[in-house]
Structure 1
Amino acid sequence: MTGPGTAPAPPSRGGRWIQHWDPENETFWKETGEKVARRNLFFSVLSEHIGFSIWTLWSVLVLFMGPEYGLTPADKFMLTSMVTLVGAVVRVPYTFAVAIFGGRNWTIISAGLLLVPTVAAFMVMEPGTSFSTFLLVGLLAGIGGGNFASSMTNINAFFPLRKKGWALGLNAGGGNIGVPVIQLAALAIIGAGGGPRVLLGIYIPLILVAAVMAALFMDNLENVKNDTGAAKDAARDAHTWIMSFLYIGTFGSFIGYSFAFGQVLQNQFGRTPLEAAYVTFIGPLLGSLIRPLGGWMADKYGGAKISLWNYVAMGVATAILIGASMEKSLALFTAAFVVLFVLSGLGNGSTFKMIPGIFQNKALAKGLQGEAAAAYGRRLSGASMGLIGAVGALGGVGINLAFRQSFLSYGSGTGAFVAFLAFYAVCFAVTWAVHLRRTTPRVPVTTATSEAEPQLSYARV
């Protein structure tokens, strides 16, 4: 029998399965839990990082696809929109996959699957290839977006509630940084005359390394296995869809702008591919690095409060972008766009921290106590993260389609930015109305009974 403060029991079968996992127990956490959780976090970040790089690969490739490729600006925005769409949709089955296969096992599989779009792009990347072929290969790259959902669901189960903001922020930030890394790699390789195939050739062995490292150093958690019903329960909860909407405003902005920034600089300000590439990586880089800070701030001050004021700041930055776009001020436009990236990263961390807090409070409101409450919170928050991540990524599709229509209709991105400003205002209103307008006290654990009126401490999430 494994005690609550002892090391995890030996694996129940082959494949590095851990039977006992109780991160909320401080003794267990200090003796063995933290070390195991951090190890899994590190290698999860590695796989997710490469997944993000492959997902956003085409945001780089389209910059260097000149007139000889025969693609119009509208074609390129459509291509990146479809890549983003696939990345959003596959996040749902990737979330289920953790419960079906185990976190470690699915990390190995999902990392290996990245070889498919990378090798396919290597084969077709040359002038004369049809747009439909590029579109099909681009769609394959979308599977890289699914790694985020499975990684976040898996890592959420490893850490205690008090550490989730930091851990999830670090996990997601380390993955998000795959966006600027692929952009920097392209700038160094393609800009030096190496060509797209050299870039793709470098990533093929890196994918293999990520899969092997996951096999050697990650673990599966027995209590996450075969809990596919949690996703159905999470889908029935209104808060899952409310948080999905709010995540469109943060992550949807981050991934959508990551795909579109360089194209906007090219089409609106006449930048060359290299001139665009020299600045496009800055926003995603800073937005990725600050995501853990957003999670840490949410741990300390409350995710709802940080998210609320972050939407205000995003609205201000967008208003400045509208002015810079109308005045054709490249310097102001670039600076405001980078600031908007930073704010999207900060909001990514704070909004995701809200998710485990919401379901933990719902557990307390039901009268659950101790490990029962923690298990309920872990179960539903882990399942909801994949759904929330999927819907949030759809915001990236909307951003690219909005830019496409704006350029077709007005010849600039100004119309799209006006739409984004209105959306951030709605996100502010929803955050305040749902999570901050009501501040009823949490049901005390020691006095909660079956007769207690269910209440949520919205402001504390």
Structure 2
Amino acid sequence: MSGRWIERWEPEDETFWQETGERIAKRNLLWSVISEHIGFSIWSMWSVMVLFMGPQYGVDAAGKFFLIGTATLVGSLIRVPYTFAVARFGGRNWTVFSALLLLLPTGFAYAVMEPGTSYGTFVLVAALTGVGGGNFASSMTNINAFFPLRKKGWALGLNAGGGNIGVPVVQLVGLLVIGTAGAMHPRLVLGVYVPLIVLAALGAALFMDNLAPVKNDTGAAKEAVRAGHTWIMAFLYIGTFGSFIGYSFAFGLVLQTQFGRTPLQAASLTFVGPLLGSLIRPVGGALADRHGGARITLGTFAAMSLATGVVIYASVAASLTVFLVGFVALFVLTGLGNGSTYKMIPAIFLTQGHRKGLTGEAAEAYGRRISGASMGLIGAVGALGGLGINLAFRQSFQTVGTGTGAFVAFLAFYAACMLVTWAVYLRRPASVASVPDTAAGAEPDRAPAEV
């Protein structure tokens, strides 16, 4: 090891793994989870800040939905460059930098979070919090390189789940502040996170490592972009993770706007759904391992459609109790779907390798290359679903004063996701239908793929 760079890294070598690799990988995983967790909290900060924005701020419900939608958009788009940053700068170096970068939106929000600030300033600061959304992509790319194939599912699941829980945690911090100091002190929430950001950056600097063998594979990235299944899975991930992050950002604001909850009442309920959705994500992956990712994903979208129907009924009937039951069920189901859809990706591209005539380790290596390259793009596109949800809520409240119209649109989208899942991955038993690459002249694959 030279400085914090590791020149030799062979996790598939059992002797290397037991003697050296496992200890180093777990240490890096710990600080990766911490950094990503805080990144998610900062990204979702405006789901809490809008609860503090009473009439004196002069921002209506549509304006608040636009603020959280702006944070979602930037956090989604920035995932693409963050995916490639690890190989370019080193996992440790980028984790330190990306953690310290979180001080920028947190500090600016601390400075401007008061009545009288212009709406344009709020939009700019909300956009800055999007850098927290990029941490997921770089963190997952980094941890994927540290662990052997047989351990990747566990490590990536822990990394993703630990990051997702940053959403309900910041909402719990907001609840604590509103419940103790009142709704006039949003800066207390921001003040809590400044030392935590510094701690995450310091821990990454002291205890994480860069892997010299990790290089950006531009060929794999180009092939992933051309692969039809990349875009199909991105569409499905819009329905699962896009719903999770979109609902997480909007839940409290919907409770305030449609059901007249006070900031304290909204904050006391907001964190429940994201918490359950985060905790259940590994269960979705485990069910996919046992029963097949496509089957679990299809069942999840069917159940999400039913839960959305419940929410529509509650919205029309103005029943808060039924609304909460349906909405929390949606969070749980999005968590299950997050796990099952991500489990589908490696299986799909492994089979694509078989279709190209590869066997054994060659097919597995191809599957790892293309699935790894595609996951960053799928994660970025999927997160854009959160923007769609918040824009739909904004339009619905602006037009009819309730979220009913938005929920009807979501129901139609989940029905489309069901149709795509069945048509592409289940229409032929346990197989993936052939999807031609988007490259001009590419021949469609002929053999079925197991998912």
What TM-score comes out, normalization by structure 2 length? 0.92
Residue 409 of structure 1 aligns with which residue? 399
Map of 1:211 onto structure 2 = 201
Paired residue for 2:316, among 318, 326, 335? 326
CA contact (8 A) 2:79 2:136 kept: yes
Bigger mean CA offset, 170-179 vs 351-360: 351-360
Partner of 2:409: 419
Amino acid at match of 2:281: R
Q: 1:352-398: per-residue Cα shift (whole Å, max 9, x none)?
A: 12122222222233333444333322222222111111101110000
2:106 to 118, 126, 133: 118
- Who is 2:383 aligned against? 393
Correspondence for 2:9: 20
Please give the root-mean-square deviation of Cα atoms over the aligned residues, in Å.
Answer: 2.0
C-alpha displacement at 1:240, in angstroms?
1.1
Query: 1:365 is matched with which residue?
Result: 355
Q: Distance in 2 between matches of 1:149 and 1:77?
A: 25
Unaligned runs of 5+ in 2: 433-443
Between 1:213-222 and 1:49-58, the stretch displaced more is: 213-222
| Residue 92 of structure 1 pairs with residue 83 of structure 2 | no
**Counterpart selection for 2:143 from 114, 133, 155:** 155
Greater displacement, 428-437 / 343-352: 428-437
Identify the match of residue 176 of structure 1 among 151, 158, 164: 164
Offset at 1:44? 1.2
The CA distance in 2 between the partners of 1:93 and 1:441, in whole Å, is 33
CA shift for structure 1 position 168: 2.3
AA at the equivalent of 2:128: L
Partners of 1:102 and 1:225 within 8 A in 2: no
| C-alpha contact 1:100 1:228 (8 A) present in aligned 2 | no
8 Å CA contact retained: 2:396, 2:405: yes
1:73 is displaced (CA, Å) by 0.7
Contact 1:168 1:353 in 2 (8 A): no
Alignment correspondent of 2:435: none
Residue aligning to 1:109: 97
Could you tell me whether the CA contact under 8 Å between 1:43 and 1:218 is conserved in 2?
yes
- CA shift at 1:454, angstroms? 5.7
2-side partners of 1:29 and 1:118: how far apart? 39
The alpha carbon displacement at 1:302 in A equals 2.2
Report deviation, 1:268: 0.8
Trace 1:33-432 onto structure 2 (pairs within 5 A). Answer: 33-193=21-181, 195-432=185-422
Instruction: Tell me how far apart the structure 2 counterparts of residues 165 and 184 of structure 1 sit (CA, whole Å).
Output: 29
Q: Deviations over 1:110-134 (max 9, x none)?
A: 1111111011111111111010011
Task: Give distance in 1, aligned partners of 2:222 and 2:374.
Answer: 9
Contact 2:92 2:210 in 1 (8 A): yes
CA contact (8 A) 2:352 2:449 kept: no
The whole-number CA distance in structure 1 between the counterparts of 2:284 and 2:337 is 6
Query: 1:96·1:228 contact (CA, 8 Å) conserved in 2?
Result: no
Distance 1:131 1:42, change over 3 A: same
> Shift of residue 307 of structure 1?
1.0
Tell me the TM-score normalised to structure 1 length: 0.90
CA distance in 1, matches of 2:87, 2:284: 28
1:264-323 deviation line (CA, Å, top 9, x unaligned): 111111111111100010000000111122122223332222111111111111011111
Q: 1:226 to 1:441 in 2, by over 3 A?
A: closer
- Asked if 1 retains the 8 angstrom alpha-carbon contact of 2:10 and 2:17, the reply is no
Equivalent-residue separation in structure 1 for 2:151 and 2:19 (angstroms): 16
SS in 1 for 2:70: helix
Cα pair 2:347 2:450 within 8 Å, conserved: no
- Tell me how far apart the structure 2 counterparts of residues 206 and 308 of structure 1 sit (CA, whole Å): 39
In structure 1, what residue type is equivalent to 2:449? Y
Q: Over residues 174-194 of structure 1, what are the superposed CA-to-partner deviations in whole Å (9 max), with x where a residue is unaligned? A: 111000000000111233117
**Equivalents in 1 of 2:295, 2:24: separation in Å?**
32
The alpha-carbon distance between structure 1 residues 374 and 214, as it changes in their structure 2 partners (threshold 3 A), is: farther
Q: Is the 8 A contact 1:117 1:141 kept in 2?
A: yes
Whole-Å separation in 2 of the counterparts to 1:33 and 1:388: 29
- Alignment CA distance shift 1:390-1:222 (3 Å): same
Distance 1:424 1:441, change over 3 A: closer
d(CA) in 2 for partners of 1:333 and 1:254? 16
Between the aligned partners of 2:236 and 2:415, the Cα distance in structure 1 is 11
- Counterpart of 1:181, as a letter, is V
Matched to 1:19, the amino acid is R
Partner Cα separation in structure 2 for residue 43 and residue 328 of structure 1 = 44
In 1, Cα distance between equivalents of 2:163 and 2:156? 11
Structure 2: how far apart are the matches of 1:116 and 1:397? 22
- Relative distance call for 1:304 and 1:166 in structure 2 (3 A) is farther
Q: CA deviation at 1:219?
A: 2.7
In 1: Cα distance, 2:392 partner to 2:216 partner: 40
Quick check: 1:40–1:219 contact (8 Å CA) kept in 2? Answer: yes
Instruction: Provide closer, same or farther for how the CA distance between residues 170 and 118 of structure 1 changes in structure 2, counting only shifts above 3 A.
Output: same
Give the C-alpha shift of residue 441 in structure 1: 7.7
User: C-alpha displacement at 1:210, in angstroms?
Assistant: 1.0
Quick one: structure 1 residues 161 and 425, their matched pair in 2 at CA, closer, same or farther if it must change by over 3 Å?
Answer: farther
Residue 457 of structure 1, CA deviation: 5.1
**Aligned residue pair count:** 438
